[in-house]
Amino acid sequence: MARAKLLRVLDGETLSPPPLWLMRQAGRYLPEYRETRAKAGSFLDLCYDPELAAEVTLQPIRRFGFDAAILFSDILVIPDALGRSLRFVEGEGPRLNPLAVEDIPRLDPSRAEAHLQPVIEAVRRIRAGLPAETALIGFCGAPWTVATYMIAGRGTPDQAPSRLFAFRDPEAMDRLLELLADMSADYLLRQLRAGADCVQIFESWGGVLDEAAFRRFAIRPVARIVAKLRAAIPDAKVVGFAKGAGAMLDAYRRETGVDALGLDWTVPTDVAKRLQEEGPVQGNLDPLRLVAGGRALEEGVDAILGELGNGPLVFNLGHGITPDAPIAHVEALVRRVRDFKA
């Protein structure tokens, strides 16, 4: 069977036009998502319902024919599996029981396998429902990013609670991150064995760390995950999306061992070009160009294709699609990328 385009690019091939998918492509900008979400009840109920999670994963594939589907779930199912009482407050975001240093020795990963079984079942159903040429991406949050939500108990603008935690007790932070890395590696391996073709690690909050802290708390635990994956599945393909990592992106690839770098929209094209000389890159259209449409969208797409389209590129946004993105603009984006010839 022919290898999916996304996987060929992750192998290092250049394809013209490049394969295309969008972070958060299953979401509130789609009426069919909102309908399924209403049937499920809460967002977390949807994540743990294999049939409905598979349905919303497949919706954007049916509508737009993207080259990859991404498992519908959330990075915070890992702390949920640890019993940190996760809930999502409508219009505000996640809330968890804030984690203190004393709680770390009591964290018990033994319930995770059973707790996450519905997600693994969703992976199996999605793969069965996808066209062969469409890749299925599994994912998890990077340990540092997941830890920031566990420690603050919510999203914060600069992750000050977790940075202070890490500077006051770095050994405790190491222990927390190792536990999350080991759980995440097991979780990704189960996704790969259930039918995911590759995985992406979401490091949304790496950009708040100084260099030494970035190496210790962001790079080191992700390197641990990648090493565990490769020990079990030597050719496992991994994308690392380290939002805001800027000047540390090159080190992030070399020192974690990820195959491809996901780039946010603030990475300049000449920097992206240099990173692409070392391996595949993914990105990096500003999601608000998609909301604005018209010239803003066309110029943004053309700049990425013009600079990165003759090397290994996976076209994507630089972060998740927002609920106010018009469907007609997504259609225009797909047309413009598909019309590209290097």
Binding positions: 24-28, 74, 149, 204, 319
Minimum gap (Å) between residue 234 Cβ and ligand CP3: 25
Of 13 and 331, which CB lies nearer to ligand CP3 in the complex structure? Answer: 331
The residues binding ligand CP3 (CB under 6 A) are: 23-28, 37, 43, 70, 72-76, 88, 93-94, 139, 141, 155, 202, 204, 320
Token pair of 162 as six digits: 């977790």
**Could you tell me the CA-to-CA distances from 290 to 17, 76, 219, 321, 339 in Å, in that order?**
19, 27, 31, 8, 17
Secondary structure letter of residue 217 according to DSSP: I
Nearest Cα to 58, choosing from 129, 122, 3, 140?
Answer: 129
Question: Known catalytic residues?
Answer: 24, 28, 37, 74, 149
Token pair of 299 as six digits: 């110029």
Minimum gap (Å) between residue 328 Cβ and ligand CP3: 20
Please enumerate, by residue number, every residue annotated as part of a binding site for substrate: 24-28, 74, 149, 204, 319
Q: Which amino acid is at 279?
A: G
CA–CA gap between residue 201 and residue 157 (Å, rounded): 21
Of 283 and 309, which CB lies nearer to ligand CP3 in the complex structure? Answer: 283
Minimum gap (Å) between residue 241 Cβ and ligand CP3: 7
**196 strand-pairing partners:** none
CB 332 within 8 A of CB 297: yes
Minimum gap (Å) between residue 69 Cβ and ligand CP3: 9
- Please report which helix (H) or strand (E) contains residue 160, including its range: helix 160-168
Residue nearest to ligand CP3 (CB): 204
Minimum gap (Å) between residue 202 Cβ and ligand CP3: 4
Strands 260-262 and 68-70 come out as unpaired
Altogether, the residues listed in the chain come to a count of: 342
Residues 6+ apart with CB under 8 A from 114: none
CB 53 within 8 A of CB 74: no
